[in-house]
Amino acid sequence: MSLFDAPLFKDAYEQLTQAADVMGLDRNILERLKYPKRALQVAVPIRLDDGSVRTFQGYRVQHNMTLGPGKGGIRFHPGVDLSETAALAMLMTFKCALVGLPLGGAKGGIEVDPNELSRQELQSLTRRYATEINMIIGPTIDVPAPDIGTDGQTMAWFMDTYSQIKGYTVPGVVTGKPITIGGSLGRAESTGKGVAYCVNFACQKLGMTIDKNTTIAIHGFGKVGVPAAQDLSAQGARIVAISDVSGAVYNKDGLDIEKCYEWTRQGKYLKDMEGVELISNAQLLELDVDVLIPAAIDGVVTKENAGNVKAKIVAEGANGPLTREAIDIITKRGGFIIPDILCNAGGVIVSYFEWVQGLQNFFWDLDQINGKLHDILKDSFDNVFDTATKYNTDMKKAAFIAALARLERAMRLRGLFPA
């Protein structure tokens, strides 16, 4: 597979070129942004519990570092490949630029199903991967974080391995760490909290209020979906449907979110819950609700089903859950889309706070963190909304335009080396 083959890469690049056309971006800058700055592919051999050795493919891609060190998650998933990783690194460049962070875009991952490995095997995998990519990682170079299939424990092993190589503790090498070893308060729920903030901002713009009559469906009840559901439910909204990979549960009067969370926290599937109506993931996406939050995986709303999506607001909690064609279909019928690089930026914003706290060895309280998160997202949301109005375009293109405008200014100021 070449660098440009993954559907997510094609989609991300298509969105980039469309936004570039609308704003009249310099073609030289567009050309540069098609390519990652650096892409490293590594073999990750580990000894399995049965004594055999298995080799996995690992990647780290740094897309653009004009604004600062690379930032982006590490994904452990069977679908990981170089092209998908490059696409996600590109999206991180635009996400960081959009919300005004002094960080560039990067992403990494291993082609593996983490559910098939024991804890010991996962630790070996993480430590060997960290060793193989350590030469392009560091607090001033590139700072990984958790993504699909990885968590705080993965980051702890990663940080420890990097620190062993350096000979001293380097908390700033990764974010999303457990609090005990330098993690930030509020990081775990930051992405979902950011989604909830953005839904509020969108409602304000559209003259809608969040109360018991506001109906919400959430596709994907994981690290993003759960805190988004908890926050919006606490505000009084009616979460009528949630889903996981097994299927969806529905209650027209609103689900008891804490009960659902208790269930999934024990590792149980939603389809096995009692006292709720079971529907399919496909049906959830097409429910007649005020707000739909696709927060599971990419490419779930396509040209095939976008015409049936009825929600007034679609908040992209996941990365790339709507294809370009789906976005056009929903926008044309008057749906309001909160684009992923804005909607799920809460995670990278609090990751940035964690990185800063780690560098300073000075830690902030939760009110400070959530207050700053709210303010950055509010400014960014208003910027995207105003950009959409200025260019008479949709929110998705506007988010890319706002990000590209900042990047373009920075790239011009720094200039091309050698001149």
Catalytic residues: 107
Which among 142, 196, 160, 153 has a CA at the least distance from the CA of 176? 153
What is the SS3 assignment for 364? Answer: coil
Pick one of 148, 287, 291, 314: the residue that binds ligand NAD (CB under 6 A). 148
User: Taking CB under 6 A as the rule, does residue 186 contact ligand NAD?
Assistant: no
- Based on the shown chain and the rule CB under 6 A, indicate whether residue 295 belongs to the binding site for ligand NAD: yes
The helix/strand/coil state of 225 is helix
Closest CA to 309 of 327, 293, 286: 286
Which of 62, 230, 243, 323 binds ligand NAD (CB under 6 A)? It is: 243
- Kindly tell me which residue out of 30, 297, 356, 410 binds ligand NAD, with binding defined by CB under 6 A: 297
Tell me if 318 contacts ligand NAD by CB under 6 A: yes
Question: Rule CB under 6 A: is residue 108 a binding residue for ligand NAD?
Answer: no
Out of 15, 124, 150, 319, which residue is the one contacting ligand NAD (CB under 6 A)? 319
**C-alpha pair distances (Å), 416 with each of 66, 153, 411, 413:** 11, 40, 8, 9
Measured distance CA(401)–CA(384) in Å, rounded: 8
Q: Taking the complex as a whole, how short is the minimal distance between the CB of residue 185 and ligand NAD, in angstroms? A: 15
- Identify the H or E element spanning 347: helix 346-360
Count of CB atoms situated within 10 Å of the CB of 99: 26
Q: For ligand NAD, which residue of 66, 161, 175, 191 counts as binding (CB under 6 A)?
A: 191
What residues from 42 to 71 belong to the interface with ligand NAD (CB under 6 A)?
none
Size of the site for ligand NAD (CB under 6 A): 22
Q: Is residue 344 at the binding interface for ligand NAD, with CB under 6 A as the rule?
A: yes
Task: Report the residue closest to ligand NAD, judged by CB.
Answer: 222
Sign of the CA dihedral with 287 first, then 290, 295, and 298 last:
positive
DSSP output for 119-175: HHHHHHHHHHHHHHHGGG-BTTTEEEEE-TT--HHHHHHHHHHHHHHHTS--GGG-S
**Quick check: 84 binds ligand NAD (CB under 6 A)?**
no
| Near ligand NAD by CB under 6 A: residue from 77, 107, 177, 223 | 223
**CA-based nearest residue to 130, from 105, 110, 152:** 110
Instruction: Output the smallest distance, CB 226 to ligand NAD, in A.
Output: 8
- 268 or 332: whose CB is closer to ligand NAD? 268
**Interface with ligand NAD, residue 263, by CB under 6 A:** no
Chain centroid to CA 146: 10
Binding residues (CB under 6 A) for ligand NAD: these are 147-148, 191, 220-225, 243-245, 281, 295-298, 317-319, 344, 347
